Structure 1
Amino acid sequence: MESPDIICYRIQQRYMLEPARAGDYDGAVRAGVAAIIRHLRPPAPLPKPVLRTAADSTQFYLDSLERAVMARSGMLDGEDPLNTAQPGSGVA
């Protein structure tokens, strides 16, 4: 795989120039090779998202709907009607 000139130039400037100026040519080459490897290595895969089941989503919706109806009818006086139950926990 080829690297564009600008990438190679940046690697030289950022990682290799200072060690080479200090006379550490081995260190300059090692730093350059490490930077090239980091550039060519594919990024780590993102973790898979945690999927909610359809049953959890449906139960959460039903619990929220039940709580909203109860709040609208005055059955939850003194409570926050937006304080919905967690999926599957029901309404207390």
Structure 2
Amino acid sequence: MDGHVLSEFVDAAGIDPEAVDPAALVEVGLRDASVRGERERSIAFLEDAVETETESEPEAEPESEAREVPESNRARHADASDTRA
């Protein structure tokens, strides 16, 4: 790595460019790229999981305002409400 290019990176932090090991900078850069890549993959995985979950949720059926009483229960309901004294 060119010493001039290296000095542009480390001078801003107040570090002596001569004291910096270029191989160490490359290693740190590669680790950073790896972490960023893993983070991006994790985010993409979570987005896919949310999208899949959203697609698989059953849609809610609209409830009618008045519920139908089944034919078999109508007679029973009529008998129960017909309690005259």
TM-score computed with the length of structure 2 as normaliser: 0.33
Q: TM-score, normalised by structure 1?
A: 0.32
Q: Which has the higher contact order (CA 8 A, sep 6+)?
A: 1
Higher relative helix content: 2
